[in-house]
Amino acid sequence: MKQRSMLAVVLVLALSGAAQAKDLFKKSEVEAALTAAYDNYKGLQEGKNADYIPALAKVDPKVFGIVLVTADGKVYTKGDVTTEISIQSISKVFTMAKVIDESGTDAILNNQGVDATGQAFNSIVAIEQNRGAEMNAMVNPGAITATSMVKGANYDEIWSKILGYYNDFAGRHLTVLDEVYQSEAASNQRNQAIGRLMYAYGKIKADPDRATDIYTRQCSVGVNAKDLAMMAATLANGGKNPVTGKQALKVENVPEVLAVMATAGLYDDSGKWLYKTGLPAKSGVGGGIIAVSPGKFGIAVISPPLDGAGNSVRAQKAIADISNALGGNPLAPQPLK
């Protein structure tokens, strides 16, 4: 506990120093970075929409929006920043954070684990290999289990807490895209099986079907690029929304959330992503990616066409370019002056 407390203090001090600076970045530099990335990739035709959820196949593949929010609350945008997509697996980050806030970091660590599975995000083999352990909350078995761990007396209370938590990160009231929810609920038999198998191994304590349905609903929350960037910037700012000032996530729990994002946030390509950018990130098959440069910025890009691993093609390229231009890699050396 002393080590975690010291880490939290270091993080708070770092963020406080950033907040005291007049500006984290020059406006012209950020705008130039966003414009260059947008212009470079707006015509890119690689990838295709997810189609295993029928509603996702209908989303306009030309949607392309970039938003960067600095840890001191400056908002920069380029492209389509109003069209809403479903949050999908990006929601996993924030439900995991809610569980950690409510029950402590060991709750996630001891119940489903935090290691990468080495299997597909919806693998049943991975569950069987480890009897429900070593799942992490960024893959479906661990994520459905995390949803089941949010405290509440009934479905409505649990859902209200989850959505309210998302609202705190986004800085506005979010709603469910009903067409997406209905489409997913009608085609999520595999997730139902995953939930029941995690229940059989004792990781979900009660009513796995309720957990799966709430998980399906959380994946169907509508977000635009600005919402996602604000959620990422809240993580970059020590759990405090940099625009509203709301402390959404306890500052001492931020490092653990970012750690799981870093190791498992982009499905099977998480290692490649971290190798190239150093940024904790999370993707969703709706076409969004968020990434966090701690103490500096949160960034989000929405572009529905995905690569074979399930990650937005344009979003990966744009975020990497922008972060490189702004020195966002938290693993890059910072020589003493």
pLDDT, tens digit, 9 for 90 and up, residues 38-90:
999 999 999 999 988 888 999 999 999 999 999 999 999 999 999 999 999 99
Residue type, 274: L
The residue with greater pLDDT, 121 or 319, is 319
Distance CA 94, CA 249 (A): 9
pTM above 0.85, yes or no: yes
Q: What is the mean pLDDT of residues 227-235?
A: 98
Q: Are 24 and 71 in contact (CB under 8 A)?
A: yes
> From CA 56, how far away is CA 98, in angstroms rounded?
27
Give the pairing of strands 297-302 and 75-79. unpaired
